[in-house]
Amino acid sequence: MIPVQGVEGARVAVLGLGRSGLTAARALRAGGAEPVCWDDNPAAREAAEADGFLCMPFKTEDHFDGVARLIVSPGIPHLYPAPNPVVALALEAGVPVDNDIGLFFQSFATRDWDSFDTTPRVIAVTGSNGKSTTSALIHHVLAQSGRRCQLAGNIGRGVLDLEPAEDGEVVVLELSSYQTDLARSLTPDVAVFTNLSPDHLDRHAGMGGYFAAKRRLFAEGGPDRAVIGVDEEEGRFLAGQLSQGPADDRVIRVSVARKLTGPGWQVFARKGFLSEYRKGKQVGSIDLRQVTGLPGAHNHQNACAAYAACRTLGLAPKTIEEAFHSFGGLPHRSQTIAEKGGVRFVNDSKATNVDSAAKALAAFRNIRWICGGLEKDGGLDALAEASANVRKAYVIGREAAHFAMQLKVEAEVCGTMDVAVAKAAAEAEPGDVVLLAPAAASFDQYDNFERRGEDFAAQVAKL
């Protein structure tokens, strides 16, 4: 655990007692603070009280008397579409609002670092799609190369649950827009922006607010190096804002849409080949077609971003390439879970929006597509072009009929996962891919996308 610095003797409120909230309370206590906690869920409060924490509701502005800061869990809105009532009270009382990411960056560096030969570093990854795979891939490459490293953030482990850094260690953080939007401290050494597509628009009051939340990691953080996906206008704009000119190699531009040229530092993938250029000359390349754990153009973008981040740490192209080949991919992200009779079953339950689903569809041919769920803003029109690889769609979810009507391919309303898997498998022929890429959230039928992917895998196992 990383004890929070600068809070000794302070009374700090913690709102939300899930994984990150409870870990933050423990780290605050370890730093000498007095955490006062609340969660609307009685079970969460009971767990906190069993751990020795005081729980009390914050119902009036007076309840914030003597409180130095409010720490808010990521799922709790602090501005849009409307602030949580407790957050609103804190702001009325003039109490600063922060999250565990802010506490981490406030507390990560210690006096022990004065005796280190190599200063620990933080690589922070954000973006709409691919940030989990990119983060895990960076961590995998570092581990395979023998570097001390830890992985945390939105990918599963709370940031304050990490061990204090050792000499030369690298911490890799996956950060969502919910996390970057609120953190008062953001100081990564290397920051990565994968891409941007519409998501969480209600939480950020539109695309402008969503991009602004991502941009804070770079504008507020001032990283030494910035790896920027430039296949969208927002990425190109961000790279332009951070760069002092075309030859500024503090900004590494990444693309899977075109060859990048110029005197700066670029990493791009075309037709399955990754290329690295510096000062107009090629200095590295990898044949990504042979990397089984990274199928499709969207994963090639992840590979380019991870490659660039690792190169900023001085790793050789050959070392990175060798590690790529041993990367098995992440669960629920273009994950091959079975093959039977020449039919491949792929779980991409993490494709919770239209853009990520379109990228999954572009990665395979002869697709039996299982899709549907809680539809997000923006409709499904963007799936039309990617649907060329689809032989038939099998639609699940409570609004399956409405979802199916918007598709440009033959679609059958199945409703539930067991029916969809059984029908897709029965109709599949050798060479087909039964792909779960929902293009929708899971909350109409499942607690989260992981549960949806696990159900898919369970139904496939029954075959």
Q: What are phi and psi of 207, to 5 degrees?
A: -65, -35
Hey, what are 362's tokens?
Answer: 């572009």
285 is in an annotated binding site: no
Is 350 assigned to a binding site?
Answer: no
Amino acid at 140: H
Is residue 131 marked as binding?
yes
Q: Which residues, in sequence order, are CB contacts of 255 under 8 Å at separation 6+?
A: 229, 230, 231, 266, 268, 269, 301, 304
Q: Write down the H helix ranges in 31-93.
A: 42-50, 85-92
In 3D space, the residue among 295, 415, 308 whose CA is nearest the CA of residue 362 turns out to be 295
DSSP code at position 312:
H
Given a contact cutoff of 8 angstroms between Cβ atoms, the answer to whether 334 and 295 are in contact is yes
Is 146 part of any known ligand binding site? no
Pairing of strands 273-278, 281-287: antiparallel
* CB-based contact 99:28 (threshold 8 Å): no
- Asked if residue 126 belongs to a known ligand binding site, the reply is no
**Does 180 count as an annotated binding residue?**
no
Residue pair 295/325 in contact (Cβ under 8 Å)? The answer is: no
Q: Let me know if 228 is exposed, middle or buried by CB neighbors in 10 A (0-12, 13-18, 19+).
A: buried
- Tokens standing for residue 304: 């380019």
Q: What is the DSSP letter of 441?
A: B
The kind and range of the H/E element at 172 are strand 170-174
128 assigned binding-site residue: yes
CA atoms of 25 and 34, how far apart (whole Å): 9
DSSP category for residue 333: S
Residue list for the binding site: 127-133
Residue list for the binding site for ATP: 127-133
